Structure 1
Amino acid sequence: MKQLLIVTRKLYKMNFYRAILSALWLIFPLEFVGVSFHIIFETCFHRNGILEVIWDLHTNLPGFNSISYLLKSTNDLTFITISLLLAFFTAENLFELRAKLSHEHLAGITSLFIYFLLIVETAPNLDLPQITDVAGNLLIPILIGLFTGYGYSFLAKRSSLKLTVTYWATTHLIMIFSLLIILIGGISFTVYQTQLFPNYISQQVQNFLQTGNHPTFWKITFATLLSNFGHFFGIINDFTTTIGNHFSSETANLTYLAQHHNLWNIPYPITLHSLYDSYGALGGNGMLLALAGAILLRVKNQRARLVASLSITQTVFDQSEALMFGIPILFNPLFLIPFLVAPFVSMSIGYLAIITHLVPAAAYVIPYATPSILRAFLGTNGNFGALFVSLIGLILSSLIYYPFVSLIDQLPERNGDESHA
């Protein structure tokens, strides 16, 4: 733990990391609002949302379809804006930290424009949902922002060009602006569009997971480990979000239940849904409901407590993005180990309970945005043993996070804000 703290402190002093932290914190309010509206949409205005199912809102609420469309479009635009701002602020912050010059926001504008071109060009039909899917990958705007910020600061430091608004400077800045767009845009577009290496890895992983007739505990663990690792570094795409969703066993279980209505004898009790969804993702990837609780119990840092108190309700509904931005958890070495270990421990508890027949496997389909602590309970048709196992997994995960969150108080109070002091 001491070495981990030393490494993290050194990382906090590096300009690129401070730029990322500051960008995440500046975007946190927008992320929090966006996630709040997303929860309303998923619970009330999605046709499979839990409150929509309970109250039959699509029948009983006038204007349901219009409100649903408005919320969905607002959500998409909000998350696209977040990605664009992430590219803008990362470039801005890094330039200011390295060059310490006034540059009329050119680094941020360049980065934003390049990233906007990227997400538009890589959405095949240029419709809002596809652009939103592309913009969900948070690592790309951060990398573009860092590359742009480094480029501008490098040029500013190694030339006599003063970034002021004069005719001579403006002509040179237009040239720099154009070259950076061509260079960075071309490289990023090529890498993102082809994706040869990621596609190869994805195919190999899927082949491994589909070997054999049914999933195993270790295959599910491997799939969720890769997914969590990717999400920790902001890699959110089809590869990381659907890597474990290619097992046909869950369909076989539902077919069996439709005929026999007996959870204890389903053909495949060990599935992604019965383990990870039910026990290993309480609060989203990384068991972040446990982290939010541990922060409120242990940490004195006012910013961390504010973020956890605001986000804990959202994590109950499995929406942990605001917590990822505000602490932050993204790219934070303090939390990588518990982010990967906590889901594994909780899944292991669920696995032991299922194979020893203490609880049935959760096989019933659960409505969207169901509170995560109730997923195993509802997925087993109201088995209180499954609810108890979920609580045990949550408590153990909190204990895993506890020693790591205690280190937050030993880090700089202003996580990355120095560029805006």
Structure 2
Amino acid sequence: MTSQLIKITKKLYKQNFYQAILSALWLIFPLEFVAVTFHIIYEICFHRNGILEVILNLHTNLPGFYVISYLLKSTNDLTFITISLLLAFFTAENLFELRSKLSHEHLAGITSLFIYFLLIVETAPSLDFPQITEVAGNLLIPIVIGLLTGYGYSLLAKNSHIKLTVSYWATNRLIIIFSLLIVLIGAISFIVYQTQLFPNYLSQQLQNLIQVGNRPSFWKIILATFLSNIGHFFGVINDFTTTIGNHFSSGTVNLAYLADHHNLWKIPYPITLHSLYDSYGALGGNGMLLALAGTILMRVKNQRARLVAGLSFTQTLFDQGEALMIGIPILFNPLFLIPFLVAPIVSMSIGYLAIVVHLVPASAYVIPYATPSILRAFLGTNGNFGALFISLLSLVISGLIYYPFVSLIDQLTAKKEDDPHA
């Protein structure tokens, strides 16, 4: 299987569109790393339910708390919007250059950025930063826009009877831009409309199916996790599992029972999204990325992969794996699809068995935001060391699941470690 996976991945790496995506992801990695770092600081210290805010009561004890919080949140939102815009820009630039080998004064990138900016403004419920950031969080859309824009410009260049020199592009850029905008905005608007209509409709139907009854079953939690991770793998950042979890009353019932009886072993609903997915299936974020980062650091020799994993390791401790997904990359990478989907399911199965056979109580207590993921089950069970052991066991087994796939990185990047297309 590994030899076939290597062949498929190598063939994909040779495609111009995939090289354009990989180069764009690598170019935005530094900014993504900074943005995620700001986001973690905000979640820990300045979110009303952040772990240090809860422990130290920072909103009372820290002078200028609300001003700092507003500035940090605004900067964070603006950075994430900039990342999406640059992703559209670089993808279009890279694809045009790979296909046409021509100088074009950045027209493809500017056109792609402009189209994407118009679309996120049009599709955002309002023009404030949080709403625009939520729309811009879908990384698949700027990539698609960049690919179509870059392809359109390269097709125009190849089919033109006039030699496309720098002066030609300079004197005719307005005609080219507006002609492409008419076609591309119409086409992309249709695509965006479809991506918001049909997946949202499908998502709602799946939520209705999963949310039948007062509590989620083990298989419903597995299905929700599987769908959420598929979306993340293809750049559709979503809160599918969180949305589903918020619609069940089981968590509230458990907390009410604990308030009266203080007995975790006899809570009415031990199997919930919180007790399985949050506690054991999302250590490091979607895909058990904490295990992946650790495995890369222990196994891989490729310097770029080690650099990304080293920088992202602390972030994955706080469930923020976006920089890791972009820097390796994991996004759209067939090398990691199987372990990215399998590792969380295996980890949740371990947690499920431990709860069912009463090795550990179910995690039911509410955990503050940005609590290190490895401690969530421990704190959610009021300090049960068995739950901490199951978390560590899940992490180790997830690392073993990733190991054979991580071992292939050096084979794919042996020729040129610092090649952005590698």
- Does TM, scored on the shorter chain, surpass 0.5? yes
Aligned residue number for residue 151 of structure 1 = 152
CA RMSD of aligned residues (A): 1.6
Q: 1:265-344 counterparts in 2 under 5 A? A: 265-344=266-345
Aligned position for 1:417: 420
Residue aligned with 2:407, SS: helix
**Aligned equivalent of 1:184:** 184
CA deviation after TM superposition for structure 1 residue 212, in Å = 2.9
- Report 1:10-29 matches (<5 A): 10-29=11-30
CA distance in 2, matches of 1:243, 1:366: 18
**CA gap 1:68/1:169 in 2 versus in 1, 3 angstroms:** closer
Q: Which residue of 1 aligns with 2:115?
A: 114
Answer yes or no: is 1:391 the counterpart of 2:392: yes
State the secondary structure of the residue aligned to 1:417. coil
> How many Å apart are 1:269 and its aligned residue?
0.5
1:377 matched residue in structure 2 = 378
Moved more, 91-100 or 192-201: 192-201
How many residues are aligned here? 418
User: Counterparts of 1:415 and 1:118 in 2: how far apart (Å)?
Assistant: 34
Instruction: Report if the CA contact (8 A) 1:22-1:415 is conserved.
Output: no
Mapped contact 1:162–1:169 kept (Cα < 8 A): no
* In 2: Cα distance, 1:202 partner to 1:246 partner: 14
2:262 corresponds to: 261
Alignment of 1:49-60 (within 5 A): 49-60=50-61
Q: Which amino acid aligns with 2:81?
A: I
Cα distance, 1:338 vs structure 2: 0.2
Report deviation, 1:252.
1.4
- Deviation for aligned residue 1:417: 2.7
Unmatched 5+ stretches in structure 1: none
Q: What is the CA deviation profile of residues 330-382 of structure 1, one whole-angstrom value per residue up to 9, with x for unaligned ones?
A: 00000000000000011000000001111111011111110000000000111
Relative to structure 1, the CA distance from residue 7 to residue 89 in structure 2 (aligned partners, 3 Å threshold; closer, same or farther) is same
Quick check: 1:18–1:415 contact (8 Å CA) kept in 2? no
Is 1:34–1:78's contact at 8 Å kept on the other side of the alignment? yes
Task: Give the Cα separation in 2 of the matches to 1:241 and 1:159.
Answer: 51
> What's the TM-score once normalised by structure 2's chain length?
0.96
Compute the displacement of 1:161 (Å). 3.4
Aligned to 2:173: 173
Aligned AA for 1:321?
Answer: E
Aligned to 2:368: 367
- The residue type paired with residue 50 of structure 1 is I
Determine if the alignment matches structure 1 residue 211 to structure 2 residue 218.
Answer: no
CA contact (8 A) 1:18 1:416 kept: no
Preserved CA contact (<8 Å) 1:308 1:323: yes
Q: How many Å separate the matches in 2 of 1:199 and 1:418?
A: 33
Amino acid in the other structure paired with 1:138: L
**Contact 1:264 / 1:361 at 8 angstroms: preserved in 2?**
yes
Alpha-carbon shift at residue 37 of structure 1 (Å): 1.0
Greater shift, 119-128 or 310-319, is seen at: 119-128
**Residues 78 and 241 of structure 1: CA distance in aligned 2, closer, same or farther (over 3 Å):** farther
1:120 & 1:293 partners in 2: Cα distance? 39
Seen in structure 2, the aligned counterparts of structure 1 residues 26 and 68 have a Cα distance that, compared at 3 Å, is same
**Residues 19, 416 of structure 1: 8 Å contact kept:** no
1:198: how far off?
1.2
Q: Which segment is superposed worse, 8-17 or 249-258?
A: 249-258
Q: 1:325 to 1:397 in 2, by over 3 A?
A: same
Q: Which residue of 2 aligns with 1:346?
A: 347
3-state SS of 2:49 partner? coil
Q: Tell me if structure 2 keeps the 8 A contact 1:110–1:148.
A: yes
2:34 corresponds in structure 1 to 33
- 1:64 maps onto 2:65 in alignment: yes
C-alpha change, 1:15 and 1:416, in structure 2 (3 Å) is farther
The amino acid across from 1:257 in the alignment is L
Whether 1:79 aligns to 2:76 is no
Q: Does 1:235 align with 2:236?
A: yes
Q: Which runs of 5+ in 2 are unaligned?
A: none
Show CA shifts across 1:171-230 (max 9, x none): 543222112222222232233246321122112101210223321000000000000010
- Which deviates more, 237-246 or 213-222? 237-246
| Letter of the 2:329 counterpart | P
- What is the alpha-carbon distance in structure 1 between the residues aligned to residue 310 and residue 114 of structure 2? 35
